[in-house]
Amino acid sequence: MVNSPKPLWLAEADLSGAVLRGAELVDAVLSGANLSGANLSGASLYGADLDGADLAGADLSGANLTEADLSGANLSGANLSRADLINANLTGADLSRADLHDANLRGANLGRANLNQANFKGATLIRANLRRAAMGETDFAGAILPDGAVSNDES
């Protein structure tokens, strides 16, 4: 019998402003954690539990958030450019003013998310769920939309 490592448990932790660039946080439990303004660029958060976490203004550029649970998370003003959010759960998350240019959101659930003023330029959203998401002034120029079409919106 092989023992698998236990996931890192940082639920409700205050990591605001922390520098976690390139950190290996696979399957980490960060639900309700304060990561506002943190630098998580290039970090691996594959399968991480970030339910209800505060990531406002955080740098998640190039991070791997594949299959991560970000439901109800605050990602307002966060940098998620070039991040992998494949099959991520962003139900009810606040992504207002977030930068998701060139991000991969294939199969992501963005139902009821706040996407107001978010930047999705060049992002991949194939099979993504955008039902009941708020999208005022959201920029999808050059993005590949859920149906596979490329947005030609030049706004």
Q: By CB neighbour count within 10 A (0-12 exposed, 13-18 middle, 19+ buried), where does 89 fall?
A: buried
Q: Residue 152: what pLDDT? A: 66
75 near 95, Cβ under 8 Å? yes
pLDDT at 73: 98
Q: Rounded to the nearest 5 degrees, what angle is found at the Cα of 26, between the Cα atoms of 144 and 103? A: 15
First to last CA, the chain: 57
- Domains by residue range for the chain, with CATH: 9-155 (2.160.20.80)
The pair of three-digit structure tokens given for residue 84, joined into one six-digit string: 């992998």
Q: Which residues of the chain have pLDDT under 50?
A: 155
H or E element, residue 149: none
Which pLDDT does position 2 carry in this prediction? 53
Q: Report pLDDT for 3.
A: 55
| Predicted local confidence at residue 147, as pLDDT | 85
The confidence score (pLDDT) of residue 146 equals: 86
**pTM across the whole model:** 0.93
